[in-house]
């Protein structure tokens, strides 16, 4: 194992221990509501990077880590009864710190960050848990900071949605976010990003995703 791989696995291993010990999500006492769907958008990568793991900040072959504020996103995939859904393929994609996607159709006149993977994937474990190491999403014209999520359970249909940063001032003008008229459902997509307790200058957020009955696949036990 190379030093590069060992360092990355060590970081993600530490994050997994943190995830396992986190307190219950802030909505656990309330009735579970399904995570609302959102559009896939035009910039799902049309050519996936060679490195497609759950660490978007450190990419194989890049000379340096991605620009931006390192942010750890973790959570559980649950059904409406609060049971974990295991074996779900969770994909994320987002623009880099310059507001540029890894997509040939994104021709905005800003440079692309060669150190940012732009896309990652993870498989939920027996408790429905997943985690990613990425950057804090940034705004670009017409959109609040967001991360795209696509979930593919082993059975039935999946879910495409987006995660937004709670309290970000751009949220008020984002038409897609505010097309969700029910404030309870809209709140399901808003994730506070707080200081990471183990990594200085990094952020941590928990995004739990609730699938409706048609989207739920294999349950954890």
- CATH value at residue 188: 2.60.130.10
Residue 180 has φ and ψ, to the nearest 5°, of -85, 100
d(CA 124, CA 143): 29
Tell me what pLDDT residue 61 has: 79
* Radius of gyration, CA atoms only, the chain: 17
Residue-wise pLDDT for 50-75, tens only, equals 889 999 999 887 789 999 999 999 99
Residue 171 has what DSSP assignment? G
Tell me what pLDDT residue 15 has: 44
Q: How far is CA 120 from CA 34, 102, 138, 140, 206, in A?
A: 23, 12, 17, 21, 17
Residue 148 forms part of a structural domain: yes
Residue 206 forms part of a structural domain: yes
Tell me what pLDDT residue 11 has: 43
- Reduced to 3 states, what is the DSSP secondary structure of residue 173? helix
Tell me what pLDDT residue 217 has: 42
Nearest in space to 72 (alpha carbons), one of 151, 146, 11? 11
Tell me what pLDDT residue 156 has: 67
**Number of domains forming the structure of the chain:** 1
d(CA 185, CA 35): 7
d(CA 117, CA 102): 8
Residue 17 forms part of a structural domain: yes
Note down the domain range covering 175.
3-210
DSSP string, 22-45: PPPPTTTTSPP-PPPP----TTS-
State which residues of the chain have pLDDT below 70: 1-31, 156, 213-221
d(CA 84, CA 104): 37
d(CA 216, CA 221): 14
Tell me what pLDDT residue 62 has: 79
d(CA 173, CA 170): 6
| Residue 212 buriedness (CB in 10 A; 0-12 / 13-18 / 19+) | middle
Residue 217 forms part of a structural domain: no
Residue 180 forms part of a structural domain: yes
Residue-wise pLDDT for 154-191, tens only, equals 876 799 999 999 999 999 999 999 999 999 999 999 99
């Amino acid at each position: 194992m190379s030093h590069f791989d060992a360092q990355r696995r060590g970081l993600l291993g530490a994050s997994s221990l943190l995830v396992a010990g986190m307190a219950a999500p802030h909505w656990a006492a309330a009735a579970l509501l399904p995570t609302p769907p959102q559009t896939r958008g035009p910039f799902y990568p049309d050519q996936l990077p060679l490195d497609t793991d759950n660490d978007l900040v450190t990419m194989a072959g890049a000379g340096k880590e991605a620009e931006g504020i390192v942010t750890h996103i973790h959570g559980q995939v649950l059904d409406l009864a609060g049971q974990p859904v295991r074996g779900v393929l969770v994909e994320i994609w987002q623009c880099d710190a310059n507001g540029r996607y890894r997509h040939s159709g994104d021709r905005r006149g800003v440079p692309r960050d060669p150190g940012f993977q732009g896309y990652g994937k993870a498989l939920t474990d027996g408790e429905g848990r997943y985690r990613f190491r990425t950057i804090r999403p940034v705004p670009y014209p017409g959109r609040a900071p967001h991360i795209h999520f696509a979930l593919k359970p082993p059975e039935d249909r999946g879910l495409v949605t987006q995660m937004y940063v709670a309290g970000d001032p751009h949220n008020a003008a984002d038409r897609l976010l505010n097309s969700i008229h029910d404030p309870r459902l809209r709140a399901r997509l808003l994730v506070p990003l707080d200081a990471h307790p183990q990594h200085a200058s990094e952020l941590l957020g928990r995004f739990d995703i609730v699938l409706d009955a048609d989207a739920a696949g294999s349950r954890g036990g």
